[in-house]
Amino acid sequence: MRMSLRRRGRGLTAALGAAAAALALVALPAGAHAADPEAQTARKKAAVAAAGVPERPAPGPSPDPSLPVHALAPGQSPVDNPLKGFARFYQPGGDQNAGYPHSLTWAYFGLSEVMNNASNCGSYDWSVLDSALAEIAEEGHQAAIRFYLEYPGGTGTHPANAIPPCFAGKVANRDNAYWGTTSPDYDDPDLLAGLKNFIAAFGARYDGDPRLGYIHLGLIGLWGEWHTWPYDTDTAGDSYPNYMPTDAHGAEIMNAYNTAFKKTRLEVRYPESAGGAANSLPAIGYHDDSFCYREGSPAAGVTLPVSMGGAPWAQLQKAVEQGVENKWITASMGGEVRPEIQSTAFANWPGGSGSVDDMKACIELEHTTWKINERSGEYAAGDPKVAEAVRLMGYDLSVKNAYFHGSAQGSTKVGVQLANNGVAPFYYPWQVSLGLKDSAGNLVKTWNTSWDLRKVMPLKIRAFPDWNVGSDPTYLDFGRPHYFDTTVDLSAVAAGDYQLVMKAKNPLEDISPNAKKLRFANAGQGADGWLDLGDMTVDAGQGSDPKSYEAEAGGNTLAGGAVVADCGGCSGGKKVGYLGNGGTLTFNGIDGGSGGTRTVTLHYATGTARTATVQANNGTAQTVQFGPTADWWTTSTVTVQVNLQAGTGNRVTIANPSGWAPDIDRITVS
């Protein structure tokens, strides 16, 4: 049995048995949510410090006009795509895939279970975490976890008092009589040092671990939720002392996490925690654990802002007051659907009813990626309302178009245009690969790309009423379909007909054969994670299609000060600059087919008219004139005829011995 008591402003016991989850509510005194009535009134009257409409990201590269376009049919993404949607509680030995499809598992751990050496605070026993992560991964899930020091009643399998025994006699303890817990002195130097050392060791061992999806900072306060209510900063009108650490000490914990974890996503409960210390840390998101609930009389929402009927302590009201309502652009937004409404939260989708607030507005304005939702296990797998909500959460990626020659040989370029119809970006740099499948569906060749899914931002965002840009709901253009391309080498592929495919690999696949595959919202998406981009014929000899070579490719030679630079209008988002006056660029491995005269098309950018020399192998260098382009990021083309040898051992060098040459994006050879 697993026990779980919940949150500021209420007590909740969730007893999770083998068959069902039973909820028992305990009423708390009025005013338990945050400040005293006078402070609440003042907050309502205070002018908010909303960040306002976020700057729209700059357009990415344009599709290569030399590549044929292949439109891909849309489809529906699965509701158990990795790292988004619902999470259910970890129960050792339980079936984590029971109930509504999901890909995340939520787990608590007491700090004393890892720091269990009474004589050494620098000793860590990770077995309890490793065991859970192994079991969760075996089921194909990523874990979302939190460590705590005090947990009213314990979880049933984890202790109520999780203060490490090595602090005994060093760190003073206090009694939280309301919850029956022991609170350590969170300002004690020994405790702070121990926590920061633990965080450093935690990060050194687990940062980037593919079994982990999200880490709640935890450690501070009841359930690790960064409050000790009623023993907290809300001391007006009550006799309870403040057990919370100072903002400065809380900030030390946040900064320790931010230093220790550079890869795994982090979240903290409140935007105002530790005086808003996380607000200046782009990688730390927030964790709304009373998601989309309405409470009180008259009822007020605890997620949506005051401008939409929310309470002064609502999650998004706090975010607006702190000016971090756009933090989702760099950090994930997690939490929990408030347990009282989990069974009915989506019954009136897209809106809400009774204790359920406007669910679609909650997801869109918070830019929700994932939520703990234990009672999602009771949902029908085919419920269309739930499915629409889950697909909206986090990322929802689709390939609008693929760009490639249907018949190719040697080196050829492949591009895709990705769109995101979710409310948040994909937060991890998962490897994107291209491949070829034969007529039997066997994967015969793969190529890794440098494509970064994190660049594909949501196409539209919903405006807060606080932004004053129109009546609610107002949707604003934000992201754009993002174009990526790369050059692949077909020289080792036998001539024949193939299916060109693409995949974003879940790194958990290297650990567990059951890992959930990232799947795109396209009709050609396969269950194995590979998306069908279209048919490609690999020719046996020199084809008529031009072959493209990127200036920034690793096999090229840059000399004399030539450098790779970012270029939003260039293919692949890169170019080579500082050519001329000693700077040279040599394209290596150029395919000359059977040899002879070939046309080289130079794709370039230059703000002023320039010249350059183009030399094939050891032949005579030709001087080429380059007219000015609109700016240093917009490309144009010129062509030159060169003699190439048979095979792929040719070189083409671009230089200017007496002046500056243009920046080069790529060349194509036909």
Which pLDDT does position 233 carry in this prediction? 77
Asked if residue 544 has pLDDT above 90, the reply is no
pLDDT band at 394 (very low <50, low <70, confident <90, very high): very high
Dump pLDDT digits (tens) for 397-422: 999 999 999 988 888 899 999 999 99
Residues 335 and 234 in one domain: yes
User: Distance between CA atoms of 368 and 366, rounded to whole angstroms?
Assistant: 5
Amino acid at 96: Q
- Residue at 194 is within a domain: yes
Which pLDDT does position 427 carry in this prediction? 98
Residues 515 and 438 in one domain: yes
Residues 229 and 317 in one domain: yes
**Between 543 and 502, the higher pLDDT residue:** 502
Fill in the DSSP letter of residue 356. B
- Residue at 42 is within a domain: no
Alpha carbon distances (Å) from 398 to 401, 478, 532? 9, 16, 12
User: Distance between CA atoms of 199 and 520, rounded to whole angstroms?
Assistant: 35
Q: Looking at residue 198, which CATH number applies to its domain?
A: 3.20.20
User: Distance between CA atoms of 327 and 312, rounded to whole angstroms?
Assistant: 20
Asked if residue 540 has pLDDT above 50, the reply is yes
Average pLDDT over residues 337-344: 97
- What is the DSSP pairing of strand 333-337 with strand 284-291? parallel
The most distant pair of C-alpha atoms in the chain lies apart, rounded to whole Å, by 92
Asked if residue 325 has pLDDT above 50, the reply is yes
- Residue at 26 is within a domain: no
Dump pLDDT digits (tens) for 273-316: 999 999 999 999 999 999 999 999 999 999 999 999 999 999 99
Average pLDDT over residues 239-264: 96
pLDDT band at 164 (very low <50, low <70, confident <90, very high): very high
- What is the DSSP pairing of strand 596-605 with strand 663-669? antiparallel
Q: Looking at residue 429, which CATH number applies to its domain?
A: 2.60.40.10
Average pLDDT over residues 139-165: 96
Which pLDDT does position 670 carry in this prediction? 83
Contacts with 280 (C-beta within 8 Å, 6 or more apart), sequence order: none
DSSP notation for 508-552: GGGT-TTPPPP--SBTTB-TTSPEEEEEEEEPSS--SS-EEEETT
Within 10 angstroms of residue 93's Cβ, the number of other Cβ atoms is: 7
pLDDT band at 13 (very low <50, low <70, confident <90, very high): very low
- Residue at 50 is within a domain: no
Q: Looking at residue 593, which CATH number applies to its domain?
A: 2.60.120.260
Identify the bridge partners of residue 501 per DSSP, sorted by sequence position: 435, 532
Residues 347 and 406 in one domain: no
- Residue at 100 is within a domain: yes
Average pLDDT over residues 345-365: 98
Asked if residue 190 has pLDDT above 70, the reply is yes
What tokens does 256 get?
Answer: 């320790």
Asked if residue 128 has pLDDT above 70, the reply is yes
User: Distance between CA atoms of 568 and 579, rounded to whole angstroms?
Assistant: 19
Give the phi and the psi of residue 664 in degrees, each rounded to 5. Answer: -110, 130
Write down the pTM of the prediction.
Answer: 0.79
Residues 665 and 629 in one domain: yes
Residues 125 and 267 in one domain: yes
Residues 348 and 213 in one domain: yes
What tokens does 286 get?
Answer: 């927030």
Dump pLDDT digits (tens) for 31-61: 344 333 334 434 443 445 899 999 999 999 9
Within 10 angstroms of residue 601's Cβ, the number of other Cβ atoms is: 16
Residues 157 and 214 in one domain: yes
Residues 368 and 473 in one domain: no
- Residue at 135 is within a domain: yes
CA triple 270-276-279, angle to 5 deg: 90
* Structural domain containing residue 269: 78-392
Looking at the 3D structure of the chain, how many domains does it have?
A: 3
Q: Among the three residues 333, 367, 392, which one is the final residue of a domain in this structure?
A: 392
Residues 482 and 620 in one domain: no
- Residue at 57 is within a domain: no
Asked if residue 11 has pLDDT above 90, the reply is no
Fill in the DSSP letter of residue 377. G
Q: Among the three residues 392, 416, 435, which one is the final residue of a domain in this structure?
A: 392
Q: Among the three residues 487, 508, 538, which one is the final residue of a domain in this structure?
A: 538
pLDDT band at 498 (very low <50, low <70, confident <90, very high): very high
- Residue at 579 is within a domain: yes
Q: Which of 12-16, 454-458, 512-516, 564-568 has the lowest mean pLDDT?
A: 12-16
Which pLDDT does position 541 carry in this prediction? 60
Percent of the chain with pLDDT over 90: 82
Residues 444 and 458 in one domain: yes
Residues 286 and 372 in one domain: yes
| Cα–Cα nearest to 164, from 185, 182, 149, 186 | 149
- Average pLDDT score, the chain: 91
